Structure 1
């Protein structure tokens, strides 16, 4: 009769297919399917879809409650436009703007490029055609390296060559620094010879493959798509050298789905970190050129003029550089305090396999500084941000307004009316009008708002709260509390996202939610107190091997330790983020006193649900006066 296919990226529903058999049309089945999606996922902001503008089906969407939000070029050869349709679920969207799902920038090998542009119907070519499906618009940008243009020019003259040369103009050609790509080209040649015994400098086709990857690396692209098996084999082991994943077209589709599930960054690489933040020193201008956004057209002279201006303004700005364990510059952050806001005139990240992790850490640092100095607005005025960095800012609750990126830092644990009033006052300073917050918001919407307005807590929402007991050993590993002999940096040691495992016995915890971490010690004089809170993002039960394979990039647990936490061949994983360590630990005795005033009895042997009022009281106690 009919079916609907959809995905649940972030806080929206993305409808990819809605199909009704011709024999059953005009019976209201499409309405029933869309209504069912709204009924099952009404706690999300709404339903988004894209449809060819020239399709007659576009007349259907307004009748199903959708409105057209804009148009975007399609992926077909004719680049026919797609209409963007939106069915709103009536939740307060602070910035009244459609969420960007632009996730991945991909460089094409010549075999995939030819597959797409020649319209080849062979099975192998159809795999490449999947990359131009309309549902991927806004999620994947297909690009070409300079080497692809050179490779096309080397083809023998024929009718298809003229077509391919003309097709090059459809794609953005990456801008790659020659010295950077040349250096990586030589490193990859050396790696292939030492690791695989391959001399890739002999054949022109091999040299071209290496040049593709080197140019993708120099342009900051992290995925290169090819059907060349020989290339794929040796290039897989080169990932640690260049950070470029070499994938088949089908694997790219799977990778997009993984990224859409918010598993894009690797916080564990900042645990026990040797990364360090330090002031930008004098005579360091040359090192900062690595943060030039040349791929998007930024000129060296403009970048240096900006850096020099900010240096000349002296103590107005904090100028920080993040160095990796080898002392190389990985990121640059410049910020300063103004009357009502924390301003960031420059934020850049160099080529790094953990770029997203680093950006999120810098944003968290900016938020904590704004909170510490009682500034409720963060305003990023850097006009040369990469597309990847802009995407991360959007996911972190920033909105682009008047050529700047704005976020609010609302340090308030209260009901929606109070949080709304304080946020609206802050928004007036930057001429932004926000949708009014309402009481009893769904867990998903409340969690999204608390992420966007961090550290705000909406205590009259339906977002549940739990106390989670954790042993001192794991608390020290995850949070640095209690401190070990080697204290870790709070600013970089605590990653934005972690995972904690336990036995799969159900305790009723559901995501999203708030967590209070109760460190319990059996030893005399040991710590027994609430030390902080986090946001629970996901609860998953599976085999310990499957859980470790999925979440090992997030945590400090070994596979054997996950197995030890399991029972009956299953374990439970709690994926959580944005941990706040309390300035004042709330000891067990004080916790019980607070709980008594709310008529609650604490059961701390396992995960226990508590009321929002009790959470707020413990949270405020931990934050201190």
Structure 2
């Protein structure tokens, strides 16, 4: 027997599907497109017998620092022969840089006896979403190798809220048939930790149209299994008017209900709406462009869950044309701030909220209160206060984001600005002390390396370039100075020490992201210089270049923390994780071109066909389909490289061409034309970075 990873061209993929069909009663519905998607990412392991027949398979998906098992299936003729153990052990070996792997499994399934034998432990259990409500257990296998933080269970990730239309709701309640098989897949155990199925208030109007009182009663009872999202009538009416032209001129009651369901979902701020209604699917692109909500079939949600989860978290492309702007708050607008940001859900009192805002407004020497709003509507969507009373700390006593489809994106933008502000002012600590943070903000803090303490959230912000040894000393000093965060800094310090001793570049890169904008000079993280045209630099990250054009940068520039740059896939020298210096190519139309102007962290490098790669990263905006198609040589079968990068720092002193060549000659032994990405030494990178970050 042998274990291999397969791709979407593998002759074994059809055998995997056959094995799934034989066991679909347990494994549940799984779209054909999802098999293809997992295989194309090489996330399917198969076990072959001596005649190269598939006798078992394991399907998995990485998510952040964890791995999730989607299917583990062994041919019933070969069970109890250790095949499941071989598959799990192979998975552990090829994903050893992750914290561990886990899965949800029903407690009434025979497999519950298997997981303890494979080393898994049942960390928690909950009631399933199906009508029977069978209990599910979460099984976790900790890989046990040293990582940044000692954990006993994996960090719980935020779920994606998905609104389903009334017909999907009815299908979930009905007995399984060929017609509702796809909808029933939304109740699959492995999806339970990723998505939260929701309804909108229109479901009650749908139910009342049923003439059978007993059916109405059962349908209302079934609603209790799901979250019903609440919306305001003012926003609902506004969105309904915008949506109206997308529906037939003479609407049936069913059309009217569809419009209301879509409008409620948009106002509730969700990113996904599932339906099998072709008329709604046909308006998906228009709704996405206007509101950032994807209308899709259940099978498409399941097939592309990973990329859709990233879509839900971060959507800078949605800001195009919205003209988001920030400014200082004004005391005369306090009533507006109360209406928009008072957290009555958590029991916050109006007086306490006003006292916090006023205390900051009347102390301009140390405090600053900023509001972010849509300029066309003069509508506040974020309110943030900074307290700079202590020289080494940036405190944020007020951090409010009004709930809408861009809440997560704006929260991450505010956090990025806070980190850059702290770094610019040499403040080593950022503390969020607002006791009334909403879930989106808490998730954004968690995903940008903040840790929660008893009195708020804290993050280190070290604006230094230094060795691992010296950074460890700085972290130990912070551990002694900030007693409430002592464990956090100790774990970082000794995690850094362990990773450095093992020369674990991936873990060192993760620590560098946690401490960003700090740079570990002896980490071995690869460094590159990447050339970019001025017009793309302008839209992706460079505000100074943008000011030189009539219209400035695209509005989405304002809030981008993550971004993507497309280029030819050759030469394929860039990998991830890595650091890049952006060299803006010469162009006489732009003052400041022919310079290295910024530095970024490379999170992912993907090479794929233009249509697939554009669909995957369109949430990041800036590039249009025709731009990506052109890079592929106007061929649907061409290949395009997507460089996904984040945490961009604009240089205070852009590096001129002549000085760049001087450093390259000294450190690399020769001058380079920089027509395509080139790798540079660590020493070369830090000489250039230090020059760029010095004050003019």
Q: Does 1:64 align with 2:85?
A: no
SS in 1 for 2:599: strand
State the distance in 1 between where 2:178 and 2:198 align.
23
Q: Does 1:104 align with 2:160?
A: yes
State the distance in 2 between where 1:138 and 1:403 align.
28
Determine the structure 1 residue equivalent to 2:16: none
Q: Is the 8 A contact 1:290 1:350 kept in 2?
A: no
Determine the structure 2 residue equivalent to 1:248: 297
1:304 Cα deviation after fit: 6.1
Q: Is the 8 A contact 1:43 1:443 kept in 2?
A: no
State the distance in 1 between where 2:246 and 2:679 align.
53
1:330 Cα deviation after fit: 2.6
The correspondence for 1:572, drawn from 619, 626, 641, is 641
Higher mean displacement: 407-416 or 516-525: 516-525
Determine the structure 1 residue equivalent to 2:4: none
State the distance in 1 between where 2:554 and 2:292 align.
26
Determine the structure 1 residue equivalent to 2:380: 329
The correspondence for 2:596, drawn from 526, 530, 539, is 530
1:103 Cα deviation after fit: 3.8
Higher mean displacement: 166-175 or 223-232: 223-232
Determine the structure 2 residue equivalent to 1:259: 308
Determine the structure 1 residue equivalent to 2:191: 136
Q: Is the 8 A contact 1:310 1:317 kept in 2?
A: no
**1:11 to 1:562, Cα distance in 2 relative to 1, 3 A:** same
The correspondence for 2:93, drawn from 34, 39, 53, is 39
Q: Is the 8 A contact 2:367 2:389 kept in 1?
A: no
Determine the structure 1 residue equivalent to 2:36: none
Higher mean displacement: 507-516 or 146-155: 146-155
Q: Is the 8 A contact 2:529 2:680 kept in 1?
A: yes
Determine the structure 2 residue equivalent to 1:320: 370
1:67 Cα deviation after fit: 4.1
Unaligned runs of at least 5 residues, structure 2: 1-54
Give deviations 1:216-252, integer Å, cap 9, x for gaps.
3443333333344455556764556655444332333
Give deviations 1:5-58, integer Å, cap 9, x for gaps.
001222322222222233333433223222222222223333232233454534
1:364 Cα deviation after fit: 0.5
Determine the structure 1 residue equivalent to 2:265: 216
State the distance in 2 between where 1:231 and 1:517 align.
42
The correspondence for 1:152, drawn from 207, 217, 222, is 207
SS in 1 for 2:101: strand
The correspondence for 1:392, drawn from 444, 447, 452, is 444
TM-score calculated relative to the size of structure 2: 0.78
TM-score calculated relative to the size of structure 1: 0.86
Higher mean displacement: 276-285 or 614-623: 614-623
Determine the structure 1 residue equivalent to 2:418: 366
Determine the structure 2 residue equivalent to 1:349: 401
Determine the structure 2 residue equivalent to 1:515: 580
**1:210 to 1:543, Cα distance in 2 relative to 1, 3 A:** closer
**1:526 to 1:413, Cα distance in 2 relative to 1, 3 A:** closer
Q: Is the 8 A contact 2:243 2:263 kept in 1?
A: no
State the distance in 2 between where 1:5 and 1:278 align.
49
Unaligned runs of at least 5 residues, structure 1: none
1:80 Cα deviation after fit: 0.9
Determine the structure 2 residue equivalent to 1:624: 694
1:523 Cα deviation after fit: 6.6
Determine the structure 2 residue equivalent to 1:309: 356
Higher mean displacement: 479-488 or 317-326: 479-488
Q: Does 1:449 align with 2:508?
A: no
**1:331 to 1:503, Cα distance in 2 relative to 1, 3 A:** same
1:395 Cα deviation after fit: 1.9
**1:175 to 1:527, Cα distance in 2 relative to 1, 3 A:** closer
The correspondence for 1:475, drawn from 537, 541, 565, is 537
The correspondence for 1:615, drawn from 685, 689, 693, is 685
Q: Number of aligned pairs? A: 616
Give deviations 1:581-617, integer Å, cap 9, x for gaps.
1222233444455456656545334322122333233
SS in 2 for 1:310: helix
Q: Is the 8 A contact 1:42 1:89 kept in 2?
A: no
Determine the structure 2 residue equivalent to 1:375: 427
State the distance in 2 between where 1:261 and 1:249 align.
17
State the distance in 2 between where 1:231 and 1:4 align.
35
State the distance in 1 between where 2:660 and 2:423 align.
26
Determine the structure 2 residue equivalent to 1:10: 64
SS in 1 for 2:416: helix
Q: Is the 8 A contact 1:66 1:85 kept in 2?
A: yes
SS in 1 for 2:574: coil
1:445 Cα deviation after fit: 2.9
State the distance in 2 between where 1:15 and 1:43 align.
16
Determine the structure 1 residue equivalent to 2:21: none
The correspondence for 1:172, drawn from 200, 210, 227, is 227
Determine the structure 1 residue equivalent to 2:128: 74
1:511 Cα deviation after fit: 1.9
State the distance in 2 between where 1:344 and 1:66 align.
41
Higher mean displacement: 65-74 or 25-34: 65-74
State the distance in 2 between where 1:195 and 1:278 align.
36
Across the aligned residues of Structure 1 and Structure 2, the Cα RMSD in angstroms comes to 3.5
The correspondence for 1:122, drawn from 164, 177, 181, is 177
1:278 Cα deviation after fit: 0.5
**1:541 to 1:324, Cα distance in 2 relative to 1, 3 A:** same
State the distance in 1 between where 2:341 and 2:398 align.
11
SS in 1 for 2:85: helix
SS in 2 for 1:85: strand
Q: Is the 8 A contact 1:275 1:492 kept in 2?
A: no
State the distance in 2 between where 1:492 and 1:337 align.
27
Higher mean displacement: 96-105 or 316-325: 96-105
